[in-house]
Amino acid sequence: MFRILCCAFFLVLITGACKKEATTDTSAPLETVLSSDLPKIRKVMDDPDAHGVQVVFSRITYDSAGKPVFKDFFYHADDSIYFYPASTVKFPMAILALERVKEKKWMNRNTRFYLEEDTVETTVGEEVKKIFAVSDNEAFNRLFEFLGTDYVNQKMEDKGLMPFRLSHRLSVEDAANIATRPIVAYKNDTTMVQLFSSYNKVPDTLKLKETFKGKGYMKDSVLVEEPMDFSMKNYYPVKTLHNTMKRLIFPEVYPEEQRFDLREDDRKFLLAAMKATPAQAGYDAGEYPDSFDRFFLYGDTITTIPEHLEIYNKVGYAYGTLTDCAYIKDKESGVEFILTATVLVNENGIFNDGVYDYEKTGLPFLAELGRQIYKNELAVRP
């Protein structure tokens, strides 16, 4: 993960409001923010198509009965234009792992398990905490073996969270293996249960725009001078990602069959894990400051997040693409919103070389985007 070596004077931050029937406005306030002359915005927005910018913003208010109301705004949010979702796919994986333990009845998030031929003994709860605290790839991959792609993809479809496609693990050699590894779980102190491997569907090739990216890519330390093919990779467009956050934070807005079926205690645990700083999750604050993986508002700073500000989010970054999806709530001001955005920052056009413009371009853009959205929400609040 990145550590940004610039500490900047930071604005105060955020909360307030949400959805019954969503109304849509495709222009302001996103166009106001994205057309500003601020250098951190302009560096990207002078050529938004080259940077693959897509943004969804939901202003949250409440009606007279206290029911949440969303007003949704979009900038170039297009399901047909592919971007690599990276670690954002860990978000539904964490939620659905908790749903799965409820389905099994004899399991809970603290049931210990291990993968066959693995020395690590863990729990679903522990892996969920790692996913949100430091975006741990191994934690994601263990839950991947627990669920399998068919389970995750079907659940997302059942809940109306489409389009979406999970097809591979992260940062391992056999990432696309359709067979999951067997799992052994402790039913109690004396009884163990084997969860057998599953064989999942071979994913189809994505028929989307921009699945071939760049002018070259590195493979086995050799430059291949042709675009990199992403058509077999995971797919999680910004509107689906944004709607996942809505479903989790405001389940009452949706029909029961479209909600995540979580034990109430597990839902509270999940939200606490999403909001916790790495230090609160047990990691070294020197290595992982409060602002770690909080791209909106804080992505270009190392700072302490004020106590009145709550950020529930999941980021992803890989192959030069940065994405964040966050529900942000300021308990002092009453400002409250959901913001999802992705940006591509790969000036040399070479993928898989590890040379990307995260710190000088991508993170400053997302941080400033979050700050300006928040500032505008303060201004329009009655």
Which DSSP string corresponds to 182-234? PEEEESSSS-EEEE---BPPPPPPP--BT-EESSEEEETTEEE-SPEE-TTS-
The greatest distance separating any two alpha carbons of the chain, rounded to the nearest whole angstrom, comes to 65
Range 70-86 average pLDDT: 97
Inside any domain, residue 10:
no
Residue 21 pLDDT greater than 70, yes or no: no
Q: What is the amino acid identity at position 126? A: E
Range 250-261 average pLDDT: 97
Q: Which of 110, 92, 211, 112 lies closest to 155 in space, CA to CA? A: 92
Cα–Cα distance, 190 to 378 (Å, whole number)? 57
Residue 43 pLDDT greater than 50, yes or no: yes
Residues in the chain: 382
Question: What does the pLDDT read at residue 16?
Answer: 34
Q: Which of 15, 24, 14, 17 lies closest to 68 in space, CA to CA? A: 17
Inside any domain, residue 252:
yes
Where do the H-state alpha helices sit in 148-301? 149-158, 238-249, 264-275, 295-298
CB atoms within 10 A of CB 69: 18
Inside any domain, residue 5:
no
The strands making up 122-123's β-sheet, listed across from edge to edge, are 122-123, 112-115, 183-186, 192-195
Q: Which domain holds residue 300?
A: 23-380
Any bridge partners for residue 216, and if so which?
A: 350
pLDDT tier, 3 (very low <50, low <70, confident <90, very high otherwise): very low
- Please, are residues 300 and 324 in contact by the beta-carbon 8 Å criterion? no
Cα–Cα distance, 280 to 292 (Å, whole number)? 12
Q: How many domains does the chain have?
A: 1
Residue 19 pLDDT greater than 60, yes or no: no
Q: What is the CATH number of the domain that holds 116?
A: 3.40.710.10
Reported pTM: 0.93
Inside any domain, residue 14:
no
Q: Each residue of 99-122: pLDDT tens digit?
A: 999 999 999 999 999 999 888 999
CB atoms within 10 A of CB 150: 15
Question: What does the pLDDT read at residue 285?
Answer: 93
SS3 (DSSP) at 336: strand
Cα–Cα distance, 29 to 11 (Å, whole number)? 19
Range 301-329 average pLDDT: 97
Residue 41 pLDDT greater than 60, yes or no: yes
Range 309-328 average pLDDT: 98
Inside any domain, residue 11:
no
Range 164-179 average pLDDT: 97
Inside any domain, residue 221:
yes
CB atoms within 10 A of CB 367: 24
Question: What does the pLDDT read at residue 197?
Answer: 93
Inside any domain, residue 255:
yes
Inside any domain, residue 18:
no
Residue 50 to residues 30, 148, 274, 295, Cα–Cα distance (Å): 18, 34, 31, 20
Question: What does the pLDDT read at residue 26?
Answer: 45
Indicate the average pLDDT of the chain. Answer: 93
Q: Which residue has the higher pLDDT, 27 or 17?
A: 27
Q: Each residue of 110-158: pLDDT tens digit?
A: 999 999 988 899 999 999 999 999 999 999 999 999 999 999 999 999 9
Structure letter (DSSP) for residue 179: B
Q: Which of 65, 63, 67, 89 lies closest to 254 in space, CA to CA? A: 67
Question: What does the pLDDT read at residue 28?
Answer: 85
